[in-house]
Chains A and B, each alone.
Chain A
């Protein structure tokens, strides 16, 4: 069952004179963070299963510059952006998919002004497309009737108005989609955005991820679904803090689908 992943790089395809349908932008978390790597692999398994022609930049990929920009270092952001755009344009990339809403937002909205124009989609949108085109089929199976709530990543939801693609996928799993008190436009941040992931929070009376986890646990889900590696980390920590990790799982949408497909 554990097939080896097929992960072609842009360099390999380029050498063979090929152009993939889509570039998979893995992102730093997806490349290096142990939890996020599982999401990356789940997504690649789905891509492999659906025979999607894709490639990654591999060692030619670098941080989009998002955390630098949100921290106020516009200079570092633009250096990263211009370097990445040179690589992307050299490979004549047309379409990019990423499992990180921060990379998604930056590539989609902030790269065009610096010369990087691509069609950028979040992996939940891409998976929804695959489903609509009949390239993947999803049987609810193990998730049938399970209570699943979706945590809107700020940079996917409010920042870019993508609310339905991930929810459509959850519904497709025959799961019972339940909504938290704060959802969609009024979704509560997990606490990682704006470069908070990389620093200690300011003094307060609670951590934001605990507040959000409490909102999620209030509606008694079996699974908290996420669409962002950082939200995933924050909520996983929150669930552990509440000692609920044995009954509540935090899973990315890609992991749900890969798991439903028994990949």
Chain B
């Protein structure tokens, strides 16, 4: 009988981790629906980017208030996980504060966790105020209404509750230590929860033990629930920021990829020895689709980008089109890509591993032409992203589809392109007049 809590703990732990692993597998499968892209180059620069941008949070502090608060929550998240390790060992083996033998160092650890937990609570409250009371413009864009707003707040509530449980657990533990309760080894320092402990003074030892146990169990179960909530929320960035910054664009921001499929065609057209009347090879594969109209046409890094986005909206707030009231919002491009990818993933799950056409696609059903044509390709969104997401590349791939597959460019642009074709300039001037300026006074 005495092993029942250990067994229950083991079941909850493995179920929690197992379910999460199952969703991560799904996530990885969905990302792999994207087209291949070679990312084996410049390994050292990639690691460097990951350490600097994801681990070092260098781009977060561009906006100091949000940046510093975020670093607090981030440190809390990473460091308090050491405590989770202890909780897991205690849970599995029925021990209590197994790391207590570390003595002074243990007190230092627990003490710093407590201070961090308090700072996290303060940061989370300020974040909530920023989202709900101050009405920052980037949290009010149309794409943030409904679920995305609830999702953002829910994450803050969960973090708040987890921190309160952590401090309650420590406070009751501290009180029990004072009362010389059996099993409650005297260990740790409680710079924050010692101020909560007096609340328990009047209670009986068994009540306090019940409070301590409840907080302990709810804390670990809460963490497992939060872990599993990640996949259903915008919050995957706490994991995916690392691979995403590793695989982020290394070339100059202005360098857009040259489409290889087009290069082949152009080379063939420019080859004087090519036979213009040659019959196409019947066994040749279908020519590749130019550009992207759905998530499967994008590259897998772009799909990883979509799952990594945490909807902070820095891209959108820096976007010149969005600032001047146009429909384009780079954040919405990323959210739409993710939502469509999820829809495709569910379709695959429902159809025994095969995608069955659903008459929908990213272009049109999620992202409109109007949004795509409002982009100035200025790279402000790419620069603003704290985790190296590139919304511009998706916009450009979709423009390629519109122009090369559908001839659906705005008529002004068709004129411009007609001019380039006919006279080598975007305006209707004769190429032979290119040097006239040198003779004009």
**Chain A residues packing against B (C-beta within 8 Å):** 2, 5, 7, 9, 26, 28, 30-33, 37, 40-41, 44, 56, 58-59, 61-63, 65, 67-76, 78-80, 82-83, 105, 108-110, 113-114, 154-155, 158-161, 185-186, 188-189, 191-208, 210-212
Does B377 sit at the interface, judged by CB under 8 A? yes
Does B266 sit at the interface, judged by CB under 8 A? yes
Residues of A within 8 A of B188 (CB): none
Q: Is the CB of A75 within 8 A of B266?
A: yes
Known: A69-B256, A158-B383. A75 touches B434 (CB 8 A): no
21 contacts between A and B (CB under 8 A): A28-B427, A31-B433, A61-B424, A62-B425, A65-B420, A68-B420, A73-B409, A73-B417, A74-B404, A78-B258, A114-B258, A158-B253, A158-B254, A193-B376, A193-B377, A194-B377, A195-B377, A197-B426, A202-B321, A202-B326, A208-B324
Q: Is the CB of A208 within 8 A of B426?
A: no
The smallest beta-carbon distance between A253 and chain B, in angstroms, is 19
Give the residues from 400 to 432 in chain B that come closer than 8 angstroms, CB to CB, to chain A: 400-404, 409-410, 412-413, 415-417, 420-421, 424-427, 429, 431-432
Beta-carbon nearest neighbor of B412 in chain A: A199
Residues of A within 8 A of B427 (CB): 28, 32-33
Q: Is the CB of A201 within 8 A of B378?
A: no
Residues of B within 8 A of A40 (CB): 437
Does B394 sit at the interface, judged by CB under 8 A? no
Q: Considering the chains assembled together, what is the distance between the CA atoms of A2 and B441 in angstroms?
A: 8
The smallest beta-carbon distance between A119 and chain B, in angstroms, is 15
Does B323 sit at the interface, judged by CB under 8 A? yes
Pick the residue among A71, A155, A212 that contacts B416 (CB under 8 A): A71
Does B438 sit at the interface, judged by CB under 8 A? yes
The smallest beta-carbon distance between B367 and chain A, in angstroms, is 13
Q: Considering the chains assembled together, what is the distance between the CA atoms of A197 and B352 in angstroms?
A: 49
Beta-carbon nearest neighbor of A40 in chain B: B437
The smallest beta-carbon distance between A137 and chain B, in angstroms, is 25
Q: Considering the chains assembled together, what is the distance between the CA atoms of A188 and B370 in angstroms?
A: 21
Residues of A within 8 A of B242 (CB): none
Beta-carbon nearest neighbor of A155 in chain B: B254
Residues of B within 8 A of A188 (CB): 320, 323, 380
Known: A26-B437, A188-B380. 9 other contacts (CB 8 A): A31-B433, A62-B424, A69-B256, A72-B396, A79-B270, A113-B258, A159-B254, A196-B376, A198-B415
Known: A109-B252, A158-B380. A67 touches B432 (CB 8 A): no
Residues of A within 8 A of B420 (CB): 63, 65, 67-68, 76, 80
Does B291 sit at the interface, judged by CB under 8 A? yes
The smallest beta-carbon distance between A159 and chain B, in angstroms, is 3
Q: Is the CB of A74 within 8 A of B374?
A: no
Residues of B within 8 A of A26 (CB): 434, 437
Q: Is the CB of A72 within 8 A of B320?
A: no
Does B327 sit at the interface, judged by CB under 8 A? yes
The smallest beta-carbon distance between A11 and chain B, in angstroms, is 11
Does B139 sit at the interface, judged by CB under 8 A? no
The smallest beta-carbon distance between B141 and chain A, in angstroms, is 14
Q: Is the CB of B437 within 8 A of A37?
A: yes
Q: Is the CB of B426 within 8 A of A193?
A: no
Q: Considering the chains assembled together, what is the distance between the CA atoms of A40 and B416 in angstroms?
A: 22
Beta-carbon nearest neighbor of A154 in chain B: B378
Q: Is the CB of B434 within 8 A of A204?
A: no
Q: Is the CB of B254 within 8 A of A204?
A: no
Write out, one digit per residue, whether chain B residues 255-292 have a CB within 8 A of any chain A CB (1) or not (0).
11011001101110110000000000000000000110
Beta-carbon nearest neighbor of A65 in chain B: B420
Ranked 10 nearest A-B pairs via Cβ: A159-B254, A72-B399, A194-B377, A205-B325, A62-B424, A204-B325, A109-B255, A189-B378, A72-B403, A199-B412
Does B375 sit at the interface, judged by CB under 8 A? yes
